[in-house]
Amino acid sequence: MSLKNKVAVVTGAASGIGEQCARKLAAQGAKVVIADLSLKNAQQVATSINDGGGSAFAVEMNVVDEEAVNRGIDAAAEKFGSIDVLVSNAGIQIVNPIENYAFSDWKKMLAVHLDGAFLTTKAAIGHMYSSGRGGSIIYMGSVHSHEASKLKSAYVTAKHGLLGLARVVAKEGGPRGVRANVVCPGFVRTPLVDKQIPEQAKELGISEEEVIKHVMLGDTVDGEFTTVDDVANTVAFLAGFESAALTGQSIVVSHGWYMQ
């Protein structure tokens, strides 16, 4: 489906990967909804897209709050007429060895990644069904949807869980034109990754340079970080894909850090 005039909601779109996905979808003609915790930050991104000739609208949304999700998705559908694309991207990272991993942190991680994906899907899919046009749901997974790393028990568990959710949504939504896929990036230099470099160095007893060289990029084919643009291009490809031939899949964008 062409993205021209399609309506795309992107969660966690005020920063990093989500922001670039929103900018890319807008550049390809979609009307984009910038959903994030801070309305002010979301508005800054929306204003910048509108100033550049795109069409964007900001909503305040905590993806773990069912009422806030429903309110934000309904406001988006009212503003732009429908929902055609959902990029469930909002995420956080907390690293710790499992013996020190606070139960409250575990629950917070699963909530943001999994409750957030469930609630936004539940809210958006009704609009996709009622428009009669179907749609495309894209979950921001990770190489950690397929592979494990030390210190990331909750993150790896949550990101693996998104594969299961996407497959169910693909099966349920298929007959009504809704596709669901997972994009799985390698390490991308965003605030989420910058924060964990010193944290991993401390926990693993190595330098920050070693975390970057060995933990983050050691298994890549070329020692390069994945970029926000690499991920946004993949999201735009999935959002605009024309048929249900591509559904229930995950696409790994990681410079070979993980190969399926």
Binding site for ligand NAD (CB under 6 A): 11-12, 14-18, 36-37, 61-64, 89-92, 112, 140, 142, 185, 187-188, 190-193
Instruction: Tell me the β-bridge partners of 252.
Output: 184
- Distance of closest approach, residue 127 Cβ to ligand NAD, in angstroms: 19
- Distance of closest approach, residue 243 Cβ to ligand NAD, in angstroms: 26
Contact 26, 80 (CB under 8 A): no
Dist. CA 193–CA 217, nearest whole Å: 12
Dist. CA 157–CA 46, nearest whole Å: 32
**What is the 3-class SS of the chain, one letter each residue?**
CCCCCCEEEEECCCCHHHHHHHHHHHHCCCEEEEEECCHHHHHHHHHHHHHCCCEEEEEECCCCCHHHHHHHHHHHHHHHCCCCEEEECCCCCCCCCHHHCCHHHHHHHHHHHHHHHHHHHHHHHHHHHHHCCCEEEEEECCHHHCCCCCCCHHHHHHHHHHHHHHHHHHHHHHHHCEEEEEEEECCECCHHHHHHHHHHHHHHCCCHHHHHHHHHCCCCCCCCCECHHHHHHHHHHHHHCCCCCCCCCEEEECCCCCCC
Catalytic pick from 101, 129, 139, 155?
155
Q: Which CB, 8 or 61, lies closer to ligand NAD? A: 61
Residue 155 is a catalytic residue: yes
Instruction: Tell me the β-bridge partners of 183.
Output: 140, 251
Dist. CA 54–CA 185, nearest whole Å: 26
Q: Which CB, 127 or 255, lies closer to ligand NAD? A: 255
Q: Which CB, 204 or 244, lies closer to ligand NAD? A: 204
Q: Which CB, 116 or 134, lies closer to ligand NAD? A: 116
- Distance of closest approach, residue 230 Cβ to ligand NAD, in angstroms: 11
- Distance of closest approach, residue 177 Cβ to ligand NAD, in angstroms: 26
- Distance of closest approach, residue 190 Cβ to ligand NAD, in angstroms: 3
- Distance of closest approach, residue 130 Cβ to ligand NAD, in angstroms: 25
Q: Which CB, 36 or 84, lies closer to ligand NAD? A: 36
Q: Which CB, 89 or 200, lies closer to ligand NAD? A: 89
Residues with a known catalytic role: 155
